[in-house]
Amino acid sequence: MKVKRKFQGVLLDEALRYLEHSPEVTIPKLLRLLEPWAQLPRHRHILQAVVTAWEDENNNWRRLLMRAFDQLAPPVRRRFLTNFLLNASLEGIPRGHALAAEHQINVPWAILMDPTSRCNLSCRGCWAQEYENTADLSLATMDRIIREGKELGIYMYLYSGGEPLLRATDIVALAERHDDCMFCAFTNGSLVDSQLALTLAQLGNVALALSVEGFAADTDGRRGAGSYEHMMNAMDHLRHHGALFGFSTCYHRDNTAGVVDPAFVDSMIARGAFFGWYFTYIPLGQHAEPQMLATAEQRLAVMQSIRQFRREKDLFFLDFWNDGDSSGGCIAGGRRYLHINAHGDVEPCAFVHYSDTNIHNVSLWEALHSPLFLQYRQNQPFHENLLLPCPLLDNPARLGQMVAASGARSTQHRDRESPEVLAAKCLPAARLWQTKAAEIWNEHLTAQ
């Protein structure tokens, strides 16, 4: 099997070289060459869907692929295929599943790390203000996490913060050291200049998710004057050099209509974005503004709009709270991902600021055995209705139960918020969404 894979790898390398010259001819060949790597039925299904999409000249996924070949620098195309598609997904996911089944723990597909809790902005309602904003993960610690992760088949690493590009030098160093991994940083874009964009395009294995809240008025309204322009300038630099980027948006009571406006999505595509990542506002910590929580109608509008966009737009969409039916519920606690903050606290999720384990004291393998992560594994999915995936936002009592059972503590150094206080802020919105989600889920079950 190994020899066969090696041979297929050589063929793939060859195909990638041809790809530079004639994508229209080579892409179908490349898709066929990827088939032996697709061990899971879900992966085979996705590959087949891409083949089918490719055969339709008007298909939005075909347009997305052609845009990738027009816009992205050759190292980016190559690293995306080998690092993201092969290493992280087609090979990494089955390996993680096998380890998880053998050891009865969760083994993630991706690790999200905060290189720093420092930030050069001060956005309204941002959770970063609840951590002490002076902490950094050292280069050596991040390097160790990645090395230990690769032994478990984890080749996907994301950065949040704080503003991760305050550590751009180390992010570049890690991408060079681990040129078999894919990286993506969530950034406000203010530190992206032409030189950094060129470096990322030459590396090929670092994508950026630029934070935006809609058009200029909504973005500057939450993130500060000039933020939208900084983000647009960053996109222009990245596009010019052929680096991979998308946008990340947080929808809340005041901007939801703007971020589901097709004109906004079209503007991101026109600017050169390849993916759009939708999150919703969570009222974490003492500076939170619970009135910013999206209403049930707004959450439904996001869900329906994104599902429609996926049929029409040449952009890859991720809907963090509303894709539970395709992800099998909550992906945290190492089931698909985990979060390590700038202090080294290993948290189930970027939005769950409780931990019983610090990466400075344990290996990644030991962290996956932590009591809180085992609680997640035992309790997932948190609701039979997969449109209610979250133990924090949709089923607020569940998080407190797991924190109590595991002995985990708040990692928010500034206010040490208890899960009960947080749950009380989420409960009114949760009750309204539970009613709406039950209606949709029942219709879905009836349709089946």
Other CB atoms within 10 Å distance of the CB of residue 359: 23
Shortest CB 82 distance to ligand SF4, Å:
27
Question: Which 3-state string (H, E, C) describes the chain?
Answer: CHHHHHHHHHHHHHHHHHHCCCHHHHHHHHHHHHHHHCCCHHHHHHHHHHHHHHHCCCCHHHHHHHHHHHHCCHHHHHHHHHHHHHHHHHHHHHHHHHHHHHHCCCCCCEEEECCECCCCCCCCCCHHHHCCCCCECCHHHHHHHHHHHHHCCCCEEEECCCCHHHHHHHHHHHHHHCCCCEEEEEECCCCCCHHHHHHHHHHCCEEEEEECCCCHHHHHHHHCCCHHHHHHHHHHHHHHHCCCEEEEEEECCCCHHHHCCHHHHHHHHHHCCCEEEEEECCCCCCCCCHHHCCCHHHHHHHHHHHHHHHHHCCCEEEECCCCHHHHCCCCCCCCCEEEECCCCEEECECCECEECCECCCCCHHHHCCCHHHHHHHHHCCCCCCCCCCCCCCCCHHHHHHHHHHHCCEECCCCCCCCHHHHHHHHHHHHHHHHHHHHHHHHHHHHHC
Q: Please identify, using beta-carbon distances, which residue of 127 and 247 lies nearer to ligand SF4.
A: 127
Using CB under 6 A, which of the segments 2-10, 136-144, 391-399, 438-446 binds ligand SF4?
391-399
Binding residues for ligand SF4, total number by CB under 6 A: 12
Q: Please identify, using beta-carbon distances, which residue of 19 and 330 lies nearer to ligand SF4.
A: 330
Q: Is 392 in the site for ligand SF4 (CB under 6 A)?
A: yes
Q: Is 354 in the site for ligand SF4 (CB under 6 A)?
A: no
Shortest CB 321 distance to ligand SF4, Å:
6
Shortest CB 324 distance to ligand SF4, Å:
7
Using CB under 6 A, which of the segments 107-115, 236-244, 348-356, 357-365 binds ligand SF4?
348-356
Shortest CB 99 distance to ligand SF4, Å:
20
Shortest CB 392 distance to ligand SF4, Å:
5
Q: Please identify, using beta-carbon distances, which residue of 117 and 280 lies nearer to ligand SF4.
A: 280
Using CB under 6 A, which of the segments 53-61, 105-113, 188-196, 390-398 binds ligand SF4?
390-398
Q: Minimal CA–CA distance to 437: which of 300, 280, 329?
A: 300
Q: Please identify, using beta-carbon distances, which residue of 109 and 351 lies nearer to ligand SF4.
A: 351
Shortest CB 432 distance to ligand SF4, Å:
17
Q: Is 351 in the site for ligand SF4 (CB under 6 A)?
A: yes
Return the residue of 105, 184, 259, 390 that touches ligand SF4, per CB under 6 A.
390
Question: Segment 288-347, which members bind ligand SF4 (CB under 6 A)?
Answer: 320, 330-332
Q: Is 352 in the site for ligand SF4 (CB under 6 A)?
A: yes
Q: Is 388 in the site for ligand SF4 (CB under 6 A)?
A: no
Q: Please identify, using beta-carbon distances, which residue of 135 and 393 lies nearer to ligand SF4.
A: 393
Q: Is 171 in the site for ligand SF4 (CB under 6 A)?
A: no
Cis bond upstream, residue 221 (ω within 30): no
Q: Please identify, using beta-carbon distances, which residue of 258 and 334 lies nearer to ligand SF4.
A: 334
Q: Is 391 in the site for ligand SF4 (CB under 6 A)?
A: yes
Q: Is 349 in the site for ligand SF4 (CB under 6 A)?
A: yes
Q: Is 154 in the site for ligand SF4 (CB under 6 A)?
A: no
Q: Is 162 in the site for ligand SF4 (CB under 6 A)?
A: no
Shortest CB 319 distance to ligand SF4, Å:
11
Q: Interface residues with ligand SF4 (CB under 6 A)?
A: 320, 330-332, 349, 351-352, 389-393
